Amino acid sequence: MKESDRVIVVGAGPVGLCLSLALAQEGIRTCLIELLSEDNFLDQIPRAGTNHPATLEMFDRIGLYAKIEPRGIIAPIFHYWDRSEQALVAAFDHAHLKDDTRFPYVLQCERIKIVEEALRMAKADPQIDLRLATTFTAFEQNADWVVARVSNPTGEEEAIEGRYIVSAEGARSIVRKGLDIEFEGFTYADRTLNIEVAYDFRQHGYAERNYISDPVEWSNLFHWKGPPDRWRVHFPTQPEDDPDAIQRPEALQARLQGLLPKPGDYEICGSNLYTVHQRVAKRFRVGRAILAGDSAHVNSPIGAMGMNSGVHDAFNLTDKLVPILRNKADDSALDRYDRQRRHVAVKHTQAQTVRNKRLLAEQDPAIRKRNNEELRRTAEDPRLARAFLLRSSLIESLREAEQIA
Ligand SMILES: Cc1cc2nc3c(=O)[nH]c(=O)nc-3n(C[C@H](O)[C@H](O)[C@H](O)COP(=O)(O)OP(=O)(O)OC[C@H]3O[C@@H](n4cnc5c(N)ncnc54)[C@H](O)[C@@H]3O)c2cc1C
């Protein structure tokens, strides 16, 4: 394979790393460009961390699962709680998926651990030309090749040639903007507050992963493996809130005490605010340029679908690029990638995450009551529970995509 036959992958996030590793496994060379350096790669803010069963199967395909499993928590069960009633509403058990997947559980393992392990694998792989501390700035394409313009670690401009370029550089994708592809959707006016806290919520009956509805202050509550063990709690904010004021230690304590009153202060390890977008690119492919992961779609983290669906993009794309680069398929296969993965983004991840937020924040008492009854009934009926879990874990989205020609 000639150097110029390689795939240029922009961004060593979970999507760019999985794509590079999966292509490398098939003997396809990539040039993986990442602006972070060896020194600051691990200084990234807390983000995704719930890995669904189908994603675990994909990690396993490239040997990544074995590296992250010891660093995560196997969590077969997740909960819905009603904060105003201080009650557990429903417990969903992934064991209902035992005939659908080899991994009938989620793995609670943070994005940062996944990229750390995947980066280590990428460094050791001779098929991957890893360029850290290198900023991608622009690209050009014609019928035969693409050229990525980068600023390398010494600050010099460099041109990198390849057959295809995959934009996995996240929501601010330079490739998407360069192609003038509309990022359709909306941005919530309110930001979400994330608090990291060292406290074992399981002693109060919570699972490793909890969705807590409340008409005033809904939450997500997740457990991450230490040392030291930490929990992450998400709270809504008001658009007019002062970011500094709501993150003062006493304000963070008040939030946590409101969720679960306890004697003494909580041990807070950190906090941050993030903006939530619900957007999908109008096209995932233009010629030799392809969008994947957050570059193509972004959504609220309620339901844990952003990183998971991005990783699913990476593997779908691998299965299209490999035969194309071996001259066994023409590149119309990439249009199928566009059709399949846009369908999943619009009909599954967008629809479900918008619904998930509405469910947690619902204010009408009659609708709340009906929602809770439905969740309870669904969790208790094995057939309904399996159908629910197939959707929530994105297995249904993958099966549906397979039917798209
Ligand atoms: C608070 C929060 C919680 C979340 N929780 C979940 C969850 O539980 N489950 C889930 O599935 N998803 C979750 N998500 C979403 C998830 O984090 C993203 O969907 C996922 O990280 C996207 O991966 P990616 O590889 O596409 O992009 P990113 O993770 O954004 O990675 C992009 C990479 O590209 C690099 N880069 C950017 N610009 C350039 C450039 N010009 N040149 C070179 N490199 C560049 C960046 O440094 C980065 O390394 C959450 C998000 C947030 C904000």
- Ligand 1 centroid to Cα of residue 145, in Å, is 27
Distance from C-alpha of 238 to C-alpha of 243, rounded to nearest angstrom: 10
pLDDT at 154 over 90: yes
The confidence band for 139, taking pLDDT boundaries of 50, 70 and 90, is very high
For residues 253-282, average pLDDT: 96
List the structure tokens of 229. 């063990």
Q: Count CB-CB contacts under 10 A for residue 168.
A: 33
User: Which residues are near ligand 1 (CB < 6 Å)?
Assistant: 10-16, 33-36, 47-50, 111, 135-136, 168-170, 174, 194, 274, 293-295, 301, 304-308, 310
For residues 116-134, average pLDDT: 98
pLDDT for 304 equals 86
pLDDT one-digit tens code per residue, 69-114: 999 999 999 999 999 888 999 999 999 999 999 999 999 999 999 9
Distance from C-alpha of 347 to C-alpha of 324, rounded to nearest angstrom: 28
Distance from C-alpha of 69 to C-alpha of 63, rounded to nearest angstrom: 11
Burial classification of residue 294, based on how many CB atoms lie within 10 Å of its CB (0-12 exposed, 13-18 middle, 19 or more buried)? buried
Query: What are the residues whose beta carbons fall under 8 Å from the beta carbon of 384, sequence distance 6 or more?
Result: 377, 378
Distance from C-alpha of 346 to C-alpha of 270, rounded to nearest angstrom: 33
Of 53, 18, 60, which is closest to residue 391 (Cα–Cα)? 53
Give the 3-state secondary structure of residue 373: helix
pLDDT for 1 equals 62
pLDDT one-digit tens code per residue, 391-403: 999 999 999 999 9
For residue 217, the Cα-to-chain-centroid distance in whole angstroms is: 24
pLDDT at 118 over 80: yes
pLDDT for 227 equals 84
- Ligand 1 centroid to Cα of residue 170, in Å, is 5
pLDDT one-digit tens code per residue, 19-52: 999 999 999 999 999 999 999 999 988 788 999 9
Percentage of the chain exceeding pLDDT 70: 99
More confident residue, 263 or 303: 263
pLDDT at 272 over 90: yes
pLDDT for 48 equals 80
- Ligand 1 centroid to Cα of residue 14, in Å, is 7
Q: Where do we find the tokens 């969705």?
A: 211
Contact 21, 322 (CB under 8 A): no
Of 179, 183, 154, which is closest to residue 294 (Cα–Cα)? 183
- Ligand 1 centroid to Cα of residue 50, in Å, is 13
Tell me: cis bond preceding 228? Omega within 30 of 0 counts.
yes
DSSP letter for each residue of 76-135: -EEEEEETTTTEEEEEEEGGGGTTT-S--SEEE--HHHHHHHHHHHHHT-TTEEEETT-E
CA angle 71, 117, 108 (to 5 degrees): 35
pLDDT one-digit tens code per residue, 323-347: 999 999 999 999 999 999 999 999 9
pTM for the structure as a whole: 0.96
Top mutation candidate among 41, 111, 135, 136 for ligand 1, by most atoms within 8 Å of CB: 111
For residue 227, the Cα-to-chain-centroid distance in whole angstroms is: 23
pLDDT one-digit tens code per residue, 335-385: 999 999 999 999 999 999 999 999 999 999 999 999 999 999 999 999 999
Q: Which residues pair with 267 in a beta bridge?
A: 198
pLDDT one-digit tens code per residue, 215-251: 999 999 999 998 889 999 999 999 999 999 999 999 9
The confidence band for 194, taking pLDDT boundaries of 50, 70 and 90, is very high
- At 319, which helix (H) or strand (E)? helix 306-325
Top mutation candidate among 167, 294, 305, 357 for ligand 1, by most atoms within 8 Å of CB: 294
Q: Where do we find the tokens 């499993």?
A: 69
Return the DSSP state at 403: T
Helices 306-325 and 333-343, axial angle in degrees (round to 10)? 170
Q: Where do we find the tokens 């199967």?
A: 57
Distance from C-alpha of 335 to C-alpha of 283, rounded to nearest angstrom: 9
- Ligand 1 centroid to Cα of residue 48, in Å, is 8
- Ligand 1 centroid to Cα of residue 274, in Å, is 12
